Amino acid sequence: MVNTKQIHSLFPSELDIPRDLRHEYIIDQTEFLINGKIEEWDGPVKILYSPIYIDKSGKYERKIIGKHPLLDKDTALNVLKAAETSYNYGKGKWPLMQIEERIECMSSFMEKLISFHDSIVKFMMWEIGKPSHEATKEFDRTIDYLSDTLEAAKDIAENNLEIHDHEGIKANIKAAPVGVVLCMGPFNYPLNESFATIIPALMMGNSVIFKPPKYGSLLYQPLLELFSECFPSGVFNTVYGHDEDVIIPLLNTGRIDMLAFIGTSKAANILHSHHPKPNRLKEVLGLEAKNPAIIFEDADIGNSVRQCLKGALTFNGQRCTALKILFVHSSIVDKFLGRLKFEIEKIKIGMPWDEDVTITPIPDAERIKYLSELVHDARNKGALVLNDNGGYHDKSLFFPTLLYPVDSSMSIYHEEQFGPVIPVVTFDDIQEPIRYVWQSKYGQQISLFGNDRATMNYVVSSVLHQTGRVNLNTICQRGPDQFPFTGRKDSAKSILSVKDALAEFSMPGIVAVKDDYEGIEMLSAVLKGK
């Protein structure tokens, strides 16, 4: 790993950047999508900076990569009106389509989206500092998610034809849309996790208002035309701007039927509080986590270290599924830490286009400040930084940091760092990490490393009802997308997976009759009339 004296050399000059990956012009976006049309905005805009600093003869400057509109309240309300008109209480063209027709539209969208692979990967590298291999993986996974959603929707189409017969009642039960859905995605997975709500919302016949992430918005600029081409007017719309100017006014109307938000529980609570009819508001929330790993005395040290390193540091640890705290049995802690420290110091730090890079520029300057405060607090209360250069940062780069021993007096023990800081806690009694899981306000996932089946069984049975997923001898992760992705407590509300998401963005619509001749004739006539 580079030392602090070498860190300046990591930031490139323009000529150091591979030619095909250079960001050579500013994306002057003044457009937003409303009612099927790309409208020009002539008001204020936000200047967008890359987290990548450019070396200009020894002077380092963040590169300006683009602009996007800062819409106002009136424009946001016009966007809402377009979405409402499109939905028209469920009588609009899109919600009344048979699901097979919506599948055709979505298939066309997916085929055309594939051609944007290179530009979207490049945008992710420059906007959020995502390594090229991680950005490519995110794009490919998004295409897979779309493809799998199409297959799952076909099953729903078949189920929509069924007639159910119970207790003298015959009924047809169809998946019906919810209404107008406000989607807000995160910066760390600006394509995949945004699409994880947008795609099922559209597939089930809803109208969508989408606000791109704070970082990672420019990649949607070339997609506006694609959304306009593939979906009826008003079905997909975008808003840009400060939440207080566009999002809060939308929620204040009480006319948003569903909120799909991936971010922090604090932000979700604020958004929820602005809807005057909260019982009407259906919510899909993917929130923060403090996923622990427990490494038992009989764990395979090599595998545990590899998995914990990957789980804690991939893409700077900026993942809700990242391992955020490690509990290591005291009998092996010295050996584990020695091996982990050795592996951390082999971690590659650099620019997103560098081969095999793990630590890259962080887009949020406030996050770097927060990480520094967490490290400072832990050190003041007795923790040591075990690896060379741990806790050091320069501009947008933050060195991976191994902290030990960590205890409950430290902020890092409780708070989600969302960055490349690895706190390690030692334990003798297995009840200590189990109590941590029980008492934590988060409950997304946990990883257990060990070989004794009785111990594994005991811990799984102790924590499974407090967390959404238990991983044995492997890292926490979202996929495969066919598995339910959820969490307990302040980590999630609802389930996001291919099949479950389609259910979350719909409601069962039931048409029922008495099981007699007249009833059956009436049900048949209504269903034939679609």
Question: Residues 36-74: pLDDT tens digits?
Answer: 999 999 999 999 999 999 999 889 999 999 999 999 999
At position 384, the amino acid (one-letter code) is: L
d(CA 525, CA 510): 15
Cβ neighbours around 266 below 10 Å, total: 11
Q: What is the pLDDT of residue 527?
A: 84
d(CA 527, CA 530): 5
What helix, strand, coil percent values describe the chain, rounded to 5?
Answer: 40, 25, 35
Residue 178 structure tokens: 């919810």
Q: What is the pLDDT of residue 501?
A: 96
Backbone angles phi, psi at 495, to 5 degrees: -125, 130
515 close to 170: Cβ distance less than 8 angstroms: yes
Q: Express as a percent the part of the chain with pLDDT over 70.
A: 98
Q: What is the pLDDT of residue 326?
A: 98
Q: With cut-offs at 50, 70 and 90, classify the pLDDT of residue 518.
A: confident
0.75 exceeded by the pTM? Answer: yes
DSSP 3-state assignment of 211? strand
At position 236, the amino acid (one-letter code) is: F
d(CA 368, CA 78): 37
Q: What is the mean pLDDT of the chain?
A: 95
DSSP 3-state assignment of 252? helix
Backbone angles phi, psi at 241, to 5 degrees: 140, -175
- Spell out the residues 6+ positions from residue 300 whose beta carbon is closer than 8 angstroms to its own: 449, 451, 473
Q: Where are the alpha helices (DSSP H) in 255-300?
A: 265-273
Residue 126 structure tokens: 């420059």
53 close to 395: Cβ distance less than 8 angstroms: yes
> Alpha carbon 63 to chain centroid distance?
25
Whether the pLDDT of residue 93 is over 90: the answer is: yes
Mean pLDDT of 244-249: 98
Q: With cut-offs at 50, 70 and 90, classify the pLDDT of residue 526.
A: confident
Sheet holding 291-295, edge to edge: 384-385, 401-404, 421-427, 323-329, 291-295, 445-449, 469-472
180 close to 258: Cβ distance less than 8 angstroms: yes
E strand map for 215-322: 236-238, 258-262, 282-286, 291-295
Judge residue 308's burial from the number of C-beta atoms within 10 Å of its C-beta, 0-12 exposed, 13-18 middle, 19 or more buried. Answer: buried
The tens digit of pLDDT for each residue in 475-503 reads 999 989 999 999 999 999 999 999 999 99
Whether the pLDDT of residue 529 is over 80: the answer is: no
Whether the pLDDT of residue 525 is over 80: the answer is: yes
Q: Express as a percent the part of the chain with pLDDT over 90.
A: 93
Decide which of 522 and 85 is more confident.
Answer: 85
The tens digit of pLDDT for each residue in 268-289 reads 999 999 999 999 999 999 999 9
The tens digit of pLDDT for each residue in 9-26 reads 799 999 999 999 999 889
DSSP 3-state assignment of 437? helix
The tens digit of pLDDT for each residue in 374-421 reads 999 999 999 999 999 999 999 999 999 999 999 999 999 999 999 999
